[in-house]
Structure 1
Amino acid sequence: MRKLIVGALASVAAIWAFSSSAQAADKEIAVIVKTVNSTFWQNVQKGANAALKDLSGYTMTFQGPAAESAIADQVNMVENAVNRHVAGIVLAPSDPDALVPAIKKAWEARIPVILIDSQVAESGDQYYQALLSTDNRKAGELCAKALIERIGTEGKIAIMSYVAGAGSEIGRVGGFTDYIKANSKLEIVGPFYSQSQMATALNQTTDVLSSNPDLKGIFGANEPTAIGMGRALVQTGKAGKVVGVGFDGNEDLQNFVRDGTLAAIAVQGSFQMGQLGLETVAKVIDKQKVEKHIDTGVVIVTKENIDSPAAQNVLY
């Protein structure tokens, strides 16, 4: 997958020219993610560190709020990076609207911004130079398809989501919901929002399972939510009885797939996001051309394919 994406980068679409003021003396690249308290984002950091080794002369800072819902904290991190005149910013925006003024400030300061994982509102399109992400809508559709294949087209399912309005959440849950409505008669309970807190997701899922004893399937839309959902299935004795489909692929979720608690997980290329994010911002700083949109892909991982090269490539 990485070779394909790198090839796509070389094929070019657009470039933004920067003045020398964009190149800070120490050539610092600021990587700012949604939260540092998640193995998904820690895997993004590993990818960024891997890329940094091949980027001569650059330094990197890696930051994120304590929680994905701390949007104001993330805005402050971007503004601080602009104020210290970093060479470039790699950003995973937690909110599509709130981050637009901050990346506009970067654009005005001639600092390139590469978005990863989630996009910003359309009004901010001109202020970033590339978006590296999963096609979250398509990923949500794949999760819905995986669930329908296992439970059929009638009955009741629940959606356990994370932060309402987050760019990735809109695409992911929207794609899932629309596919379910278009291809089945399944009744949807939710969505419920965990604020990306595992304990909250566990409690919410426990309540949903108790209130809906006829539930046939359940979808956990990001890592902490899916982990909490999986733990609730185990604790309530519903593991293997209610079909679970999760999102992301840390060790906890892999174990849930192996033991049958979850039927499938949709796994993004988080390492690739960090690695290609750094490589892409360095290309823009060096006035090379890059594509505006780069799909980093998703793999549906099941017990049957979890040890395959395709799955092992994206699991973390």
Structure 2
Amino acid sequence: MKSLFRSMALVGAVTLAAMPAAVVAQEIAVIVKTTSSNFWQNVNRGAQAGMEGLDGYTMSFDGPASESDIAAQVNMVDNAINRGVAGIVLAPSDPEALVPSVQRAYESGIPVVIIDSMLAEGAEEYYQAFLSTDNQAAGELMAQTMIDAIGTEGQIAIMSYVPGVGSEIGRVGGFTDYIEANSDIEIVNTLYSQSQMATALNQTTDMLSAYPELDGIFGANEPTAVGMGRAIVQAGRQGSLTALGFDGNEDLQQFVRDGVLEAIAVQGSFQMGEMGVQTVVDLLAGEEVEEFINTGVVVVTADNIDSDEAQNVLY
């Protein structure tokens, strides 16, 4: 696969060399799920850091206003291909819908590095590396955190985000499977916020009302966990149930400090951007890269939130 890509990249380079100078700009397009999230803005900061000292390259950063606007993200990838970018770093919002565009990039000799969420099975031949938290392992880690907090019995709820997204499948699937395999805890419901904070707030409010004896609740990404935390505060349930979140913006950090959330699992979002850009540059230089690069996760609690390990991933 790698040798075929390099051959295609050479063809692409010859084609680009024949184009006007304005088109030959060595642009690396970083396209994320949405630009309206601190998580993805931290990916942007990491990508900018990865560009430092790279002479001859420029970087663009783009993403839809909402993670659910999949058509807009497809258009962004297609537009990047049309303008002849040197490489693409992509966090796909949908595992199926982005495959044709990534295939087209591959056929155009443009290296693609996927971050955060995998594409559908069978699409691996069209991209050269996948950088992510091991979401299944992270979900299992949070499940064990829940068991440690409430024991092996009780009722919990899951506040998820966009069904079918690669990170959601691994993260929530890992959490669910681990709870079911290692405890008698009942998962009373799983709701999907579409990564909208206000939706998560309303859904959590309804969940807390429907299950007043709920022992625990898990918010599986940044906007969902923020909405969940705000609902817990508004309902006066702080301290009466174990709440776990995912990601690490300022709101979630404050929830941990205030005891609203017992813990948050924080991904290396900065590392996704920085290492994503660097991996594209390595591919353009003809170097071999690892097909999977784990960018890690840190469980942050009130006890370790000020440690160097936590501060290096919080944003």
TM-score range, shorter chain: over 0.9
Aligned match of 1:278: 277
1:209 partnered with 2:208: yes
Aligned match of 1:171: 170
CA displacement at 1:40 relative to structure 2: 0.2
Distance 2:185 2:12 in 1: 56
1:46 partnered with 2:45: yes
Aligned match of 1:10: none
Q: Secondary structure of the residue that 1:218 maps to in structure 2?
A: strand
Aligned match of 2:124: 125
Q: Looking at both structures, which has the greater relative contact order when contacts are Cα pairs under 8 Å and sequence separation is at least 6?
A: 1
5+ residue gaps in structure 1? 1-12
1:21 partnered with 2:20: no
CA displacement at 1:279 relative to structure 2: 0.5
Which residue type is aligned with residue 134 of structure 1? T
Distance 1:64 1:293 in 2: 23
Tell me the C-alpha RMSD between the 2 structures: 1.2
Q: Secondary structure of the residue that 2:130 maps to in structure 1?
A: strand
Which residue type is aligned with residue 187 of structure 1? E
Aligned match of 2:107: 108
Q: Secondary structure of the residue that 1:226 maps to in structure 2?
A: helix
Which residue type is aligned with residue 270 of structure 1? S
Aligned match of 2:187: 188
- Mapping for residues 14-163 of structure 1, pairs under 5 Å: 16-17=5-6, 18-19=9-10, 21-22=12-13, 25-163=24-162
Q: Secondary structure of the residue that 1:37 maps to in structure 2?
A: coil
Q: What whole-Å deviation, never above 9, does each CA across 1:12-55 have from its counterpart, x for those lacking one?
A: x9563121525661100100000000000000000011111121
TM-score, structure 2 length as denominator? 0.95
TM-score, structure 1 length as denominator? 0.94
Aligned match of 2:20: none
Q: What whole-Å deviation, never above 9, does each CA across 1:88-142 have from its counterpart, x for those lacking one?
A: 0000001111111010000010100000111101121100000000000000001
How many residues are matched?
A: 304
Distance 1:130 1:19 in 2: 19
Aligned match of 2:19: none
Most deviating of 45-54 and 170-179: 45-54
Which residue type is aligned with residue 49 of structure 1? Q
**1:14·1:291 contact (CA, 8 Å) conserved in 2?**
no
5+ residue gaps in structure 2? 17-22
Distance 2:104 2:11 in 1: 17
